[in-house]
Amino acid sequence: MRLLFLLLLVANLGFFAWMRFLAAPDPAVDRQPLSQQLDPGKLRIVPETELAKAQPAAPAKPAAAPTPVPIACLESGSFSPGDATRAAQRLEPLALGARLAQYRGEETAGWWVYIPPQANRAGALRKTAELKKLGVDDYFVVQDAGRERWAVSLGVFRAEEAAKAHLDALRAKGVRSAVIGQRETQVPKVWFQVRGVDPALHAQLQEITRDLEGATLRDCAAR
């Protein structure tokens, strides 16, 4: 038994000596890993704080575009009662609901466009029939006693420029007997107010106002 133990010991020592000094080296085993490193003495453990600083910073997110601030209130006008009906029809597709309101008032008009006084009521009515054929519906016959009785008014305006523009529009329709004159009078006018106006709605209101003769768009505070 003792002899067997000695034989196994000698065999193990011999196998170790053969593997260590005589056997060909295994190419998969690197016996000198540190000797093949570049500057192994400079290797060090990097703390997590330094590692975090060395990482590239994430790209900054672009700043969000500012939300447009709605305009408190705009109003379009002023309209004669007849023009106010057409303005309301233009505003209806916008479905403004409770944001839309209108108010009525009076303005001092210094100019008017009119057909001079006719000899009698029948003559004035003939003129209105001619206007209807030309597509002109906004007019009234002056019936008050005075030198303007039986004239046909086609519009009253605060500024002469607005009166001239209206006269040009009438002549383009074929109205030839209308003229411009001065007339100080109080006339009914209508304004439309729209609240909570954003930029898109503002552009729509501007377009509608441009299409309505003599109308302007302004801040409600300007009234």
| DSSP secondary structure of 117-141 | PPSSHHHHHHHHHHHHHTT----EE
In whole angstroms, what is the distance from residue 148 CA to residue 141 CA?
10
pLDDT of residue 180: 95
Give the count of beta carbons closer than 10 Å to the beta carbon of residue 107. 15
Terminal-residue alpha carbon distance, the chain = 124
Confidence of residue 103 (pLDDT cuts 50, 70, 90): confident
Cα separation, 79 vs 68, whole angstroms: 30
Confidence of residue 195 (pLDDT cuts 50, 70, 90): very high
Lowest mean pLDDT among 60-74, 109-123, 187-201, 207-221: 60-74
**Cα Rg of the chain (Å, integer):** 48
Highest mean pLDDT among 7-16, 65-74, 81-90: 81-90
pLDDT confidence band for 209 (50 / 70 / 90): confident
Q: Is there a contact between 101 and 191 (Cβ–Cβ < 8 Å)?
A: no
Higher local confidence (pLDDT), 31 or 104: 104
**Average pLDDT over the chain, rounded to whole?**
79
> Domain ranges in the chain?
71-222
Please give the order of strands across the beta sheet that includes 179-197.
140-141, 152-157, 100-115, 179-197, 71-79, 216-219
